[in-house]
């Protein structure tokens, strides 16, 4: 273990039953035949960390040893962040009998939480994704995955799990978790090194945009058989640009608590049920990919999901069964007696190609990343559009900022943004 986290050297031991997932056999662990301790696996940034996590997860699925990855100290992960992740995993507390992995939530709105997952939950949709069925394509050969997301979070772990199910080895980028700057040339080089196999990749919207704005990146994307984009909303302009380029794009919805993506371009994954509450439109996910529950903490015992997870998001399901994500429940603010969605304001602003990214604070200050001179010429049009779509009461105060902090998984760091500008 890294000397920076010595307190996790004391571990507890637990037993694991057998399971079989999506055609891949995971070894039966008979009671008393193997003691499982929660041993944290430190993951370095870059391709080295991808390889470490891949072998660790594969070993866990073969032996029953719990997979509990944590990032190494780096420019992307501070000691405080690592300590928060370790605390969320809580390695000295018992686990549920069938748990095979403990992953942590992003912590974008506060401290991360530890989530326990069975092998059956982690792998529930693997074959459906690898076959291309859930994204409207069909492949008849094992997919080769490019890993561009941190493998200490569910997005990257999905890539590892799906690679294991496909019996292939993922191609890790040096930019994973901040090992280097995500670069179209690096991505293109990785793609060019893959042979005739189908190429699958999971990205966040900022990575997709950077690739599409590069000739080399666009060419590499066009070689991919399937491109999954998740981790948050995909700006309308990015989606339209991907359509114009005829890229095989599928935007995904999911979270650690649902074993990652379980809705693909609005369509439920097999066995997945989406319910939007009639009162507040809160989204509830039911199905085989829903995790076991939250790890116990110093304030609570283990919290079981019992096959369904009530999210903090709200949305709607149309007559064809397509899910539309409208925002987070905590995005709603009351202005002059009117409920205003901060996410809806952001969506209007991000329709403008001049805006690189945007975040609306609870006080209705819109932080926009854009060229100040260009924004000045566009701001009147943006204000008018917000008034037309959402009403004049929704027009925010605008503030141009050089950048918006993001977490290593690509999500906006809402806590840091609020601390900086709120």
**pLDDT number for residue 108:** 65
CATH topology classification for 6-325 = Rossmann fold (3.40.50)
DSSP state at residue 324: E
What is the sign of the dihedral through the CA atoms of 171, 152, 175 and 413? Answer: positive
**pLDDT number for residue 157:** 98
Tokens of 205: 């919207």
Q: Tokens 């709603």 appear where? A: 332
**pLDDT number for residue 109:** 66
Tokens of 239: 């989606």
What is the second-level CATH architecture of the domain 336-421? 2-Layer Sandwich (3.30)
Q: CA-to-CA distance for 82 and 88, rounded, in angstroms?
A: 10
Range list of β-strands (E), 256-380: 260-264, 267-268, 273-276, 282-286, 293-294, 303-304, 308-317, 323-328, 332-335, 338-341, 357-360, 365-369
**pLDDT number for residue 76:** 84
Query: What does the pLDDT look like over 394-420, one tens digit per residue?
Result: 999 999 999 999 888 778 888 899 999
Range list of β-strands (E), 78-124: 99-104, 114-118
Please, which residues have CB within 8 angstroms of residue 234's CB and are 6 or more apart in sequence?
205, 208, 251
Helix (H) or strand (E) segment spanning residue 58: helix 47-63
Order of strands, edge to edge, in the sheet holding 273-276?
Answer: 273-276, 282-286, 308-317, 323-328
**pLDDT number for residue 43:** 97
**Spans of all domains in the chain:** 6-325, 336-421
Strand, coil or helix: 203 = strand
**pLDDT number for residue 235:** 81
Tokens of 62: 């073969």
Burial class (CB in 10 A: 0-12, 13-18, 19+), 124: buried
- pLDDT lower than 50: segments of the chain: 1-34
Helix (H) or strand (E) segment spanning residue 106: none
**pLDDT number for residue 240:** 87
């Amino acid at each position: 273990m890294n000397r920076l986290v010595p307190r996790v050297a004391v571990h507890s031991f637990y037993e694991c039953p057998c399971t079989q997932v999506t055609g891949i056999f995971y070894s039966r662990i008979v009671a008393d035949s193997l003691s499982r301790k929660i041993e944290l696996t430190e993951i370095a940034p870059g391709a080295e960390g991808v390889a470490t996590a891949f072998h660790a997860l594969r070993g866990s699925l073969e032996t029953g040893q719990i997979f509990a990855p944590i990032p190494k100290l780096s420019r992307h992960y501070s000691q405080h962040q690592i300590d928060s992740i370790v605390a969320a995993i809580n390695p000295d507390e018992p686990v549920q009998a069938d748990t095979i992995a403990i992953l942590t939530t992003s912590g974008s709105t506060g401290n991360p939480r530890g989530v326990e997952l069975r092998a059956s939950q982690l792998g529930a949709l693997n074959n459906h994704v690898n076959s291309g069925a859930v994204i409207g394509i069909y492949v008849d050969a094992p997919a080769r995955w490019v890993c561009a997301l941190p493998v200490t979070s569910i997005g990257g772990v999905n890539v590892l799990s799906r690679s294991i199910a496909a019996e292939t080895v993922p191609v890790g980028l040096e930019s994973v978790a901040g090992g280097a700057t995500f670069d179209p040339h690096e991505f293109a080089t990785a793609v060019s090194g893959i042979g005739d196999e189908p190429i699958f990749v999971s990205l966040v919207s900022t990575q997709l945009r950077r690739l599409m704005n590069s000739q080399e990146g666009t060419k590499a994307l066009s070689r991919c058989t399937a491109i999954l984009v998740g981790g948050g909303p995909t700006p309308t302009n990015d989606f339209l640009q991907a359509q114009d380029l005829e890229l095989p794009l599928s935007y995904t919805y999911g979270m650690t608590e649902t074993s990652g993506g379980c809705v693909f371009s609005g369509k439920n994954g097999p066995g997945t049920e989406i319910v939007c509450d009639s009162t507040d439109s809160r989204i509830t996910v039911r199905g085989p990919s829903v995790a076991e529950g939250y790890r116990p903490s110093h304030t609570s015992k283990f919290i079981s999901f019992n096959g369904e997870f009530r999210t903090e998001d709200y949305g709607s399901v149309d007559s064809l069964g397509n899910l539309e994500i409208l925002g987070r429940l905590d995005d709603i603010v009351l202005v002059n007696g009117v409920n205003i969605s901060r996410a809806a304001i952001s969506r209007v602003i991000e329709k403008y190609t001049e805006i690189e990214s945007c975040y609306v604070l609870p006080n209705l200050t819109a932080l926009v990343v854009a060229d100040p001179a260009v924004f000045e010429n566009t701001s009147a049009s943006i204000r008018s559009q917000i008034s037309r779509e959402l009403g004049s009461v929704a027009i925010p105060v605008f503030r141009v900022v050089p950048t918006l902090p993001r977490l290593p998984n690509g999500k906006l760091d809402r806590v840091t943004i609020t601390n900086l500008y709120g």
